[in-house]
Each structure stands twice: as structure tokens, then as C-alpha cells.
Structure 1
Amino acid sequence: MRITDVESFEELASRSQDAPVVVFKHSTTCPISAAAYEEMSRFDGEVALVEVQRALSLSKAIERKTGVPHESPQVLVLRKGKVVWDASHWKVKADAVQQAVKNADDSGPGQ
């Protein structure tokens, strides 16, 4: 799912109270980001896609709201409204994201 505005991100952050949420910031002009995009296509789960060229203000807002410096490509895993895991550039790997989501999900909504 593509997100383009702060309200959509805030809705995702709210949803992360119940389950982990994955946000992928992608540059359509960067070869490293193209490799990360291909890697994320192997991720088994929902991904909120931020295309930084089309939504740079959103990407910067995510940086302000999470405290995680902007990178592209970048994956953030949110749980209970906070970033519990992130990776950028060549560290974006579907298996690592899957494990991060599992670890975040193991914490459960009430913990």
C-alpha cells in the first residue's frame, strides 16, 4: 500500500498498537533502493510504501515523529507507535524484516 500523507502515517502508527507495521521508504531513482525494493517484494506481509520523490515532506515528517534519521531506502518496523527496528541501504533484507516483525509481534499488545 502506498502512503503519501502524514495522516496515513499516523493511522499506521495507531494500528501498530495492535500489531507491527512495516514502512518502506523507497527512491525510484536509486539503484540501491531498486535492490531493496526487489528484496521487499519477497517480504510476506503488508508494507506501507513511501516513494520519497513523491512524498519527501512525508518522509521528513516520519523522521521528526520517530526520531530515526531519514535514509533511502529504509525500512521501519513500528510497534505501539514507536520504531522498534530499522534498516537502510544494503541492510534491507526481507528475512531480517520478517524476523523484526516476529520479534515485535511477540511483545504482544498489552506488554
Structure 2
Amino acid sequence: MSWKKLDKLSQLDQIKEESKGMPVVIFKHSTRCSISSMAWNRMERSWKAEDHDRLSAYFLDLIAHRDVSNAIVSEFGVAHASPQVIVIKDGQVVYDNSHMGINYREVVSIGA
């Protein structure tokens, strides 16, 4: 899977617009956390090529881009967690889960 890097505050407006056409997945990853690495690995292994046509996916290194992570909290009204998957559809959060609660099937079912 080819995830787009989320590393600029300006991308949040782009994501809101993009989510009007298809759901957008944001994976917030802490490079310092083994649980985050495990959750990221599970998502990567599970992702299927056809899911790329139904969901747009962004990857946020929240250690390197804490400002973007904080802006997600403000912009979308979700409490911060790491790792965390947030799905935005029509500009609104429709899925939010973290740690071992991140469920690939739940995420891709939103784009079905």
C-alpha cells in the first residue's frame, strides 16, 4: 500500500475536501512505540490493492509532526491516541480507534 505522508497543516483542509469523494484514513504512528509499530504492521499486511480504490490513506509520523497531530484533535474533535486510526467521510470523523482496537475490516467496510 502506498500511503500519502501527512506532514503539513494545510493538508487537513485537503483531506476534508477529499473525504467528500471517498473516505480518508489517517494512521497516526509513534516511531517510539512498539505497540504503534505492531498496529502499523497489521494494517500494512492486511491492506489489499482493491481497498486503495475505495479509501484514501494518509500516514502521520506524530513524533516528527506533533503540530499536525494536535491540529487533528482540534479540527476533528477526536482525543489524541497513538497508534490511532481515524476515518473521515464528508468532512466528519466516522471511525476512531487506537492501539489493539484498530480493526482493518472495520476501516475498509467504511469504504465499501
1:43 has 2:42 as partner: no
Cα distance in structure 1, aligned partners of 2:38 and 2:111: 21
Alignment of 1:24-103 (within 5 A): 24-41=27-44, 42-44=46-48, 45=52, 46-102=56-112
Cα deviation, residue 39, structure 1: 1.3
Cα deviation, residue 101, structure 1: 2.9
Cα distance in structure 1, aligned partners of 2:36 and 2:110: 20
- Structure 2 gaps of 5+ residues are none
- Structure 1 gaps of 5+ residues are 103-111
Cα deviation, residue 75, structure 1: 0.5
In the superposition, the TM-score normalised over structure 2's length comes to 0.85
In the superposition, the TM-score normalised over structure 1's length comes to 0.86
1:21 has 2:31 as partner: no
Aligned residue type for 1:96: E
After the TM superposition, which segments of 4 or more aligned residues of structure 1 sit over 6 Å from their partners? none
Cα deviation, residue 93, structure 1: 2.3
Cα deviation, residue 96, structure 1: 2.0
Cα deviation, residue 69, structure 1: 0.5
Identity between Structure 1 and Structure 2 (%): 31
